[in-house]
């Protein structure tokens, strides 16, 4: 038992705290410093009592409450207000027993022998350096945790965005997650609009053929088209010329792929036209013929041929000009193969191999026979030459070709309209000048011929024909050959500085 803690006379040997009394009231005041007294213990009892009352320290559980039936009653003190019930006896609400000094050897210990009171003291004070350290470490951990969460969220957002973009791009490209299946083409339309290049080609191709000619050490490829069911085919003279002069061979290939040999029926170098015939071939489809006099500049046209031996090639363009006087050929030593054509000009591509092929209008009718091109270097020539198309192609008008073809089929020869004069081909002035004499030394104007009857004389210059200007001797020949024998021409002539108007009726000649 500690001294200074009163004991109850009814319970000797047991230390029972004075319930309801403060320590300073229960312990008499003793002067400080008196020997044999223990003021520090009284102070310790007061502190312990206050601690138990205020709840600052609860180092030892309160003593168990005594049974009121068994515990002896303490004497009342009327003068003491704290001695009246319920403060007169201990109960479960009584303050904890007095706390011994930390240095007391009787202080309670745990199983390991540690002082329970002293061990718990540092934990009772808030705001210490150790607590601040713990708080700072905890805060740093929380900060790192928040940063980790933020960075993870950003990475997740970036990955999700990239994945979403890839998925979106895939869906946009393919239209869905399923395998791509392209739509099947529907049934083709029953036909093409009339007048389109496709419609024209579909109608004309069965009538167009390819000619392969060999002879006299030469080979040539050209085109032709069927005139009738008897097997007559119209083409250019320069295409079949190697076979005629050298006893060669002409092979005709149809659009179906069938081939047949052909023979020459007749040809004319002045018009650069020829007719060949195949025999024993059935099911031929003649190509309808149009009217070249009805053609206008700007009309759409289609050309079909075998340029560079590519059969069935179709090109399209327009009529660029009409009545374009051109000359072609002249490769022979005597120049007898020169052709004079009052041609239709077109920008439909024409290349070597197109010779003899048809030039078609928008009704799929032949309005011309492709014959010559203008090369890039400015030279003119037949399209069998090495030059390619520059958009300047020329075709023999079908009206002229039809007349010549009929004559070649019926008689084997073609007639030419003539004036009966000899022209000065070296004249450089404007117009066609009549030479002073013929090549054999005879008169330049044939006696009794069409020109003599019309009143033409040597030295006259023809400047106009049927309202069209004439600028050279070649142009006068072209304009004349565009007519038939017996046609009447109106001429404008300059003689000795004066202008005269004459009328002339064309004669005929079958000289090739």
* Residues carrying an active site annotation: 238, 272, 355
Residues 6 or more apart whose Cβ sits within 8 Å of residue 408? 265, 266, 267, 268, 273, 274, 275, 414
Q: What gap in Å lies between CA 110 and CA 116, rounded to an integer?
A: 6
* CA-closest candidate to residue 456, choices 512, 507, 509, 508: 507
H-state helical runs in 175-210? 197-204
Tokens of 155: 């990475």
Tokens of 409: 């089929």
In the block, which residue shows the tokens 């404008």?
492
Name the H helices within 320-428. 398-411
Give kind and range of the element (H or E) at residue 300.
strand 300-305
| Alpha-carbon span 17 to 96, nearest angstrom | 8
Contact between 275 and 405 under an 8 Å Cβ cutoff? The reply is yes
Positive or negative: CA dihedral 354, 357, 359, 360: negative
Name the one residue in this structure whose structure tokens are 């050959």: 481
Cβ(74)–Cβ(8) below 8 Å: yes
* Helix then strand then coil, % of the chain, to nearest 5: 25, 25, 50
Q: If DSSP states are collapsed to H, E and C, what string results for 371-401?
A: EEEECCCCCEEECCCCCCCCCCEEEEEHHHH
Three-class DSSP category at 96: coil
Rounded Cα gap, residues 410 and 416, in angstroms: 15
Q: Distance from CA of residue 134 to its chain's centroid?
A: 68
Q: Rounded to whole angstroms, what are the CA distances from 97 to 59, 84, 248?
A: 10, 20, 147
């Amino acid at each position: 038992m500690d001294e200074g803690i009163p004991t109850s006379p009814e319970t000797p040997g047991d230390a029972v705290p004075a319930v309801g009394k403060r320590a300073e009231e229960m312990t008499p005041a003793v002067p400080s410093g008196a020997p044999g007294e223990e003021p520090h213990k009284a102070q310790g009892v007061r502190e312990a009592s206050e601690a138990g009352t205020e709840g600052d320290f609860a180092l030892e559980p309160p003593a168990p409450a005594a049974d009121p039936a068994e515990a002896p009653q303490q004497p009342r003190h009327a003068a003491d207000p704290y001695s009246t019930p319920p403060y007169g006896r201990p109960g479960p609400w009584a303050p904890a027993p007095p706390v011994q000094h930390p240095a007391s050897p009787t202080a309670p210990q745990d199983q390991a022998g540690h002082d329970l009171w002293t061990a718990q003291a540092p934990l009772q004070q808030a705001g210490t350096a150790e607590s601040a350290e713990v708080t700072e470490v905890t805060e740093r951990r929380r900060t790192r945790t928040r940063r980790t969460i933020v960075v993870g969220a950003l990475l997740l957002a970036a990955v999700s965005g990239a994945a979403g973009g890839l998925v979106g791009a895939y869906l946009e490209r393919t239209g869905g997650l399923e395998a791509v299946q392209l739509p099947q083409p529907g049934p083709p339309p029953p036909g093409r609009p009339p007048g389109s290049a496709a419609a024209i080609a579909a109608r004309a191709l069965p009538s167009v053929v390819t000619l392969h000619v060999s002879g006299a050490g030469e080979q040539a490829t050209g085109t032709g088209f069927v005139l009738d069911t008897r097997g007559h085919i119209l083409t250019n003279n320069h295409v079949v010329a190697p076979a005629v002069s050298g006893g060669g061979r002409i092979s005709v290939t149809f659009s179906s792929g069938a081939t047949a040999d052909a023979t020459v029926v007749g040809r004319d170098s002045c018009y650069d036209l020829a007719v060949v015939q195949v025999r024993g071939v059935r099911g031929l489809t003649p190509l309808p013929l149009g009217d070249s006099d009805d053609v206008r500049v700007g009309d759409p046209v289609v050309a079909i041929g075998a340029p560079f031996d590519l059969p069935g090639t179709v090109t399209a363009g327009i009529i660029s000009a009409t009545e374009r006087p051109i000359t072609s050929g002249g490769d022979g030593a005597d120049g007898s193969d020169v052709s004079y054509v009052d041609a239709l000009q077109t920008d439909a591509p024409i290349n070597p191999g197109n010779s003899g092929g048809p030039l078609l209008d928008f009704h799929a009718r032949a309005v011309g026979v492709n014959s010559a091109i203008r090369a890039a270097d400015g030279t003119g020539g037949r399209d069998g030459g090495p030059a390619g198309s520059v958009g300047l192609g020329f075709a023999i008008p079908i009206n002229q070709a039809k007349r010549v073809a009929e004559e070649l089929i019926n008689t084997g020869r073609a007639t030419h309209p003539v004036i009966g004069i000899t022209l000065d081909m070296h004249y450089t002035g404007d117009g066609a000048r009549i030479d002073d004499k013929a090549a054999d030394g005879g008169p330049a104007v044939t006696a009794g011929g069409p020109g003599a009857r019309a009143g033409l004389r040597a030295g006259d210059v023809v400047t106009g024909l049927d309202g069209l200007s004439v600028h050279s001797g070649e142009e006068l020949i072209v304009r004349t050959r565009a007519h038939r024998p017996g046609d009447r021409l109106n001429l404008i002539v300059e003689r000795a500085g004066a202008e005269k108007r004459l009328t002339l009726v064309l004669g005929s000649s079958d000289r090739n």
